[in-house]
Amino acid sequence: MLAFTLRRLAVSIPVVIASSFIVFVLVATAGGDPLADLRLRPGISEGTIELRRKQLHLDEPVLQRYGNWATAAITGDLGKANGGEEVRPLLVRRLGVTLRLVVFATIIAVILAVFIGSMGAVKQYSKFDYTATFFAFVFFSMPVFWLAAILRDVGIRINTRIDRHIFFVVGEQTPGLGGGFLNVQADRLGHLILPSVTLILISMASWSRFQRGSMLEVLNADYIRTARAKGVSARRVLFRHALRNALIPVVTIVAIDFATILGGAVITETVFGWTGMGRLLVDGLKASDVNVIQAWLLVAAVLVISFNLAADLLYGYLDPRTRTT
Amino acid sequence: MVRGRRRTALTGILLALSMVAAACGSSDDGTAGGGSETTAAKSTDSGVKKGGSIAYAAEQEPTGFNNLTSKDNLAELRHIMRNIWPAAYLARPDFSVVPTALLDGEAKVTSQSPFTVEWKINKDAIWSDDVPVSADDFEWVYLSCNGKVDPGEPTVKNDKTGAAETGLDCASTAGYDKVTKFEKVDEKTVRMTFDEPYVEYEGLFGDPMPPSHIGRPLPDGWNTGFDKDPMVSAGPYKLKEYVKGDHFTLERNEKWWGEKPNLDTIVFREIPDPATHPDALRNDEVQVIYPQPQTDLLTQVSEIPGVEHELNFGPTWEHLDFNFKNPLLAMLEVRQAIAYGVDRDRYVNTLMKPFSDKAKRLDSRVFMSNQPEYVAHGKEYAVRAPEKATAALEKAGFTKGADGIYAKGGKRLSFRLRVKSPNPLREQMEQLIQADLKGVGIEIKIANFGDPDTIGSIGAAGDFDLFIFAWVGTPFEVSAAQQTFDTASDSNFGKYSNPEVDAAIKKASTILNEGDRADQLNKADVLMWEDLPNLPLFQKPVGLLAYKSTYANISDNTTSEGLFWNSSKWGLKAAAQ
């Protein structure tokens, strides 16, 4: 297992290097000029523009810039954003925001999706199944921004009705809030509810359908019929034999989706005013900020690789036949 | 003393910033007054109690605190720093300029030849660490922004010229680069001598100035010394808390020598998407917002109970630019035909009237319609006149083709019209212009662009035939006119050139008397209406100001100052909880 893991990681390194090179060159040569606005300003001296050009290393050839960036990145130095801010702390901060938002939501969404999908399969064509299917399709087909906007409106109406602040619609916390640890945590939870519910509903909708389909397939498999014929208890058949195998496809989907969401739940972050990874990427692209985009790419690439690896390892756990030695 | 008709001031940075901001369609044109003006604002303190807090929805996160560097030259940073660091002048909503509490009276012209100006610093002006605000602070700004390599300054080599240039990053050297002599007369007095009359001297030291006693001893103090912290305050507020990526909190500066602010704290919450601002206001998570106006935001805000809102047409003006590099557009008759062929009033009615009935057509390139110096020189093109358009074309030898489009020598009048998208307002305007000009035999092909291209990059490359964007008119009309229309200006995207206009604007830049200067600029505008370097369309509202009605004295300032121009006077109404 260890050798497999190391081998997979080793294979991933060229992928990260190649993708970072391609993205660097694309961004650096795409035509966006980080100094375009600066050049427009009257009174800006040539010297100032030259200074900024040098500060951002725009005076160097692209390959040299990439080389410098890569050399520094290996040591953990991700350079500075166009605005002069160190990229590494910026990245850590943004990733922290996104993690807070999506980890909780993903855990809840997975639990609900597995439960609802499995129940729907076990009680196929029941009222529960039809209801779950209906809502899954509703949330699956609903644009994220629309769902988020509706939830935001509902939250505000509830607050207004009860004349209390239970739901918050922007940001991660109320600035400067006092009142002790519990009060601060309650406030953070209040900020987390609506964006989390948005992500949960959207993610759960698709994952529950995968789970239902997978579970149905497994429940109709010969070995399940055999287990039942041998007198294995229904509970044991369901959890030990069916659910475990049915989780394998869902694990793949969740792993890939989770890595993607960690790269930035752009719409949810935007609607609820969270400044996470998604916002970082959008801002970086707008500003042609190659260091920011590179940093985002590194994180996204590492996340995708890591979660794909985690999915592979989980296969081995869920299905011993797939274990590699 | 407040001179009634003085143009609004603040430095060329302000001008620069506002122009770029408008050009880019962002909201970079606000700033913070910090309540630091010496003369009473239009708002009063009656019925306002001391104490309380207010949260503002800010779209931008500061990159650092030295707003005078190009790196940190962001509008909302100005909002913050206006309350923290001292500035010499404040532009008021009526476009007049007043010295702030930093000065002991106005800057005075002490000599016409050589042109010399003296600034006296308020004797009570003091930083929050008890160090007096002094001539040293002014000197540091001057040395950093004069564009020259002063002794001891870091340098960079200019790859093009090979020369060593200053390594200090200053957003604008305008005005400072004309200074031939800087003198510290005493601790509280500075004097500057200019190489020629510099009539916009009030713009100098008009931006929040960093503390020299903190910054100068630091290595690279000017460029990066305030990246993480403004360190000290000499304004009505000081920084209490900064959670990067989330919010700033300002609290009263007890060492502030001016009018004490009413509110205990002002919180700047970073909420990047303006579409979320109305709901944040509705949910009382912020109490004041100032997003770029959009009709849906206006509708949302007007439906929130307990919220006041106002929307004023500011100095941001939309215009249709012609590229003189295009041989067809270089012909006056073609530009005239376009000017006659478009229906500017219809654009105003369609696009601006939904915001406010106050919207109207703009007929000047040098003054805004809400300035007393404004003269509508463009009345010739006030009403759409297709017959005049076609007559102009036929007079120039164009004939109408079978496809209804005029042509001459095989060259059809077919032009690319560009805007930066997404921008629903300008895109709708394009459609209207396209339809109008088709009616006079001119074909318009819409060819918009998006990120990563900017208005600046497309404009500088001259990659357009017709181009719609906006400039911000400022109190520095002379600088603005020079930047936009002077033959040598990089921002003269259409490459319009008329030596007479250049000379007229240049002459205005030497006239101290404001009335005479305005007359001179208006003469230049008359010349330009004969040339049609571009076609002014209309002014736009700058920001949609909305705030909880439990607060008083919050009002818009459509100059580049923005809504924080009088924040010291903001407060909870006496009856409010």
Q: Please state the rounded mean pLDDT for residues B254-259.
A: 94
Secondary structure class of B433 (helix, strand, coil): helix
Is A293:A281 a contact under the CB 8 Å cutoff? yes
- The confidence score (pLDDT) of residue A31 equals 61
- The confidence score (pLDDT) of residue B419 equals 92
Q: Could you tell me the two tokens for B407?
A: 């042509």
Establish whether the linkage from the previous residue to B86 is cis, with ω within 30° of 0: no
Higher pLDDT, B424 or B257: B257
Secondary structure class of B18 (helix, strand, coil): helix
> How large is the angle between the packed helices A2-29 and A290-318, nearest 10 degrees?
160
What dihedral angle (degrees, nearest 10) is formed by the CA atoms of B562, B347, B462, A65? 50
**Third-level CATH fold of B317-540:** Dipeptide-binding Protein; domain 3 (3.10.105)
- Among B160, B285, B452, select the one facing A168 at the smallest CB separation: B285
β-sheet bridge partners, residue B189: B120, B186
CA distance linking residue A236 with residue A227, whole number of Å = 9
Strand B414-418 and strand B411-412: the pairing is unpaired
CA distance linking residue A94 with residue A85, whole number of Å = 13
Q: Scan residues 269-288 of A and list those with Cβ closer than 8 Å to B.
A: 270-273, 275, 279, 283, 285-286, 288
pLDDT in tens, B300-342: 999 999 999 998 888 888 999 999 999 999 999 999 999 999 9
A40 vs B: CB within 8 A = yes
> How large is the angle between the packed helices A62-74 and A2-29, nearest 10 degrees?
140
A190 vs B: CB within 8 A = no
Whether pTM > 0.80 for this model: the answer is: no
A23 vs B: CB within 8 A = no
- The confidence score (pLDDT) of residue A38 equals 67
- State which residue of chain A sits closest to B160, comparing Cα positions: A50
- The confidence score (pLDDT) of residue B300 equals 94
> How large is the angle between the packed helices A180-219 and A244-262, nearest 10 degrees?
130
CA distance linking residue A109 with residue A106, whole number of Å = 5
CB within 8 Å: B279 and A52: no
CB within 8 Å: A275 and B246: yes
Q: Minimal CA–CA distance to A107: which of A210, A196, A191, A172?
A: A196
Higher pLDDT, A323 or B239: B239
How far, rounded to the nearest angstrom, does the alpha carbon of residue A254 sit from its chain's CA centroid? 10
- The confidence score (pLDDT) of residue A43 equals 54
Is 0.90 exceeded by the ipTM?
no
- CB-count burial class (<10 Å; 0-12, 13-18, 19+) for A14: exposed
The model's confidence at residue B11, banded by pLDDT at 50, 70 and 90, is very low
- Phi, psi (degrees; rounded to nearest 5) at B461: -80, -10
CA distance linking residue B393 with residue B342, whole number of Å = 15
Instruction: Write out B343-365 in H/E/C secondary structure.
Output: CHHHHHHHHHCCCCCCCCECCCC
- The confidence score (pLDDT) of residue B1 equals 37
- The confidence score (pLDDT) of residue B451 equals 67
What is each CA distance from B461 to A86, A239, B484, in whole angstroms?
32, 67, 15
Q: Please state the rounded mean pLDDT for residues A77-85.
A: 83
A61 vs B: CB within 8 A = no
Beginning with the edge strand found earlier in the chain, give each strand of the sheet holding B406-408 in spatial order: B399-400, B406-408, B411-412
User: CB neighbours of B424 closer than 8 A, spacing ≥ 6?
Assistant: none
Percentage of residues in chain B having pLDDT higher than 70 = 90
pLDDT in tens, B123-168: 999 999 999 999 999 999 999 988 888 887 777 776 667 777 777 8
- The confidence score (pLDDT) of residue B510 equals 83
Distance (Å) from the C-alpha of residue B448 to the closest C-alpha of chain A? 16
Q: Could you tell me the two tokens for B569?
A: 């006077």
The model's confidence at residue B418, banded by pLDDT at 50, 70 and 90, is very high
CATH of A2-324, one of 3.30.70.1730, 1.10.3720.10, 1.20.1560.10, 3.90.1720.10: 1.10.3720.10
The model's confidence at residue B442, banded by pLDDT at 50, 70 and 90, is very high
- The confidence score (pLDDT) of residue B12 equals 38
- The confidence score (pLDDT) of residue B371 equals 83
The model's confidence at residue A323, banded by pLDDT at 50, 70 and 90, is low
Strand B53-58 and strand B265-270: the pairing is parallel
Q: Could you tell me the two tokens for B226?
A: 């305030």
Chain B contact set for A284 (CB, 8 A) = none
- The confidence score (pLDDT) of residue B42 equals 39
- Of the spans A67-76, B36-45, B130-139, B216-225, which averages the highest pLDDT? B130-139
- The confidence score (pLDDT) of residue B34 equals 37
- The confidence score (pLDDT) of residue B39 equals 34
Q: Please state the rounded mean pLDDT for residues B344-358.
A: 90
Whether residue B9 is predicted with pLDDT greater than 70 in this model: the reply is no
Whether residue B27 is predicted with pLDDT greater than 60 in this model: the reply is no
CA distance linking residue A282 with residue A304, whole number of Å = 19
Q: Could you tell me the two tokens for B274?
A: 């303006």
Residue with tokens 């100052």: B561
Is B108:B189 a contact under the CB 8 Å cutoff? no
A169 vs B: CB within 8 A = yes
Question: Alpha-carbon Rg of chain B, whole angstroms?
Answer: 24
Q: Please state the rounded mean pLDDT for residues B493-504.
A: 94
Q: Please state the rounded mean pLDDT for residues A229-257.
A: 87
CB within 8 Å: A84 and B63: yes
- State which residue of chain B sits closest to A276, comparing Cα positions: B245
Q: In this structure, is the dihedral angle defined by the CA atoms of residues A79, A83, A88 and A89, taken in order, positive or negative?
A: positive
CA distance linking residue B297 with residue B286, whole number of Å = 15
Distance (Å) from the C-alpha of residue B319 to the closest C-alpha of chain A? 17
- The confidence score (pLDDT) of residue B33 equals 34
- Among B240, B276, B490, select the one facing A170 at the smallest CB separation: B276
The CA-based angle B383-B359-B424, given to 5 degrees, is 90
Q: Please state the rounded mean pLDDT for residues B52-70.
A: 87
- The confidence score (pLDDT) of residue A316 equals 75
The CA-based angle A191-A194-A200, given to 5 degrees, is 125
Q: Please state the rounded mean pLDDT for residues B229-254.
A: 92
Q: Please state the rounded mean pLDDT for residues A10-23.
A: 84
CA distance linking residue B536 with residue B381, whole number of Å = 10
Question: Would you tell me how many other CB atoms lie within 10 Å of the CB of residue A230?
Answer: 8
Whether residue B23 is predicted with pLDDT greater than 70 in this model: the reply is no
CA distance linking residue A68 with residue A62, whole number of Å = 10
- CB-count burial class (<10 Å; 0-12, 13-18, 19+) for A92: middle
CA distance linking residue B322 with residue B469, whole number of Å = 12
Whether residue B60 is predicted with pLDDT greater than 70 in this model: the reply is yes
Percentage of residues in chain B having pLDDT higher than 90 = 56
Choice among B15-24, B72-81, B397-406 with the minimum mean pLDDT: B15-24
Element (H, E) at A42: none
Distance (Å) from the C-alpha of residue B285 to the closest C-alpha of chain A? 7
- Of the spans A35-44, B39-48, B79-88, which averages the highest pLDDT? B79-88
Higher pLDDT, B279 or A322: B279
Whether residue B15 is predicted with pLDDT greater than 50 in this model: the reply is no
Average pLDDT, chain A: 86
Q: Please state the rounded mean pLDDT for residues B198-205.
A: 87
Is A138:A232 a contact under the CB 8 Å cutoff? no
- The confidence score (pLDDT) of residue B28 equals 29
- Among A31, A54, A168, select the one facing B283 at the smallest CB separation: A168
Diameter of chain A by CA atoms?
Answer: 87
Whether residue B255 is predicted with pLDDT greater than 70 in this model: the reply is yes
Chain B contact set for A152 (CB, 8 A) = 279
Interface test with B, best of A37, A274, A277, A286 (most B CBs within 10 A): A37
Is A309:A187 a contact under the CB 8 Å cutoff? no
Is A294:A78 a contact under the CB 8 Å cutoff? yes
Strand B115-120 and strand B189-194: the pairing is antiparallel
pLDDT in tens, B280-302: 999 999 999 998 888 889 999 99
Average pLDDT, chain B: 86
HSE-up (13 A, CA, CB side) for residue A207: 28
Residue with tokens 């699956």: A140
β-sheet bridge partners, residue B190: B119, B184
Is B37:B94 a contact under the CB 8 Å cutoff? no
Whether residue A300 is predicted with pLDDT greater than 60 in this model: the reply is yes
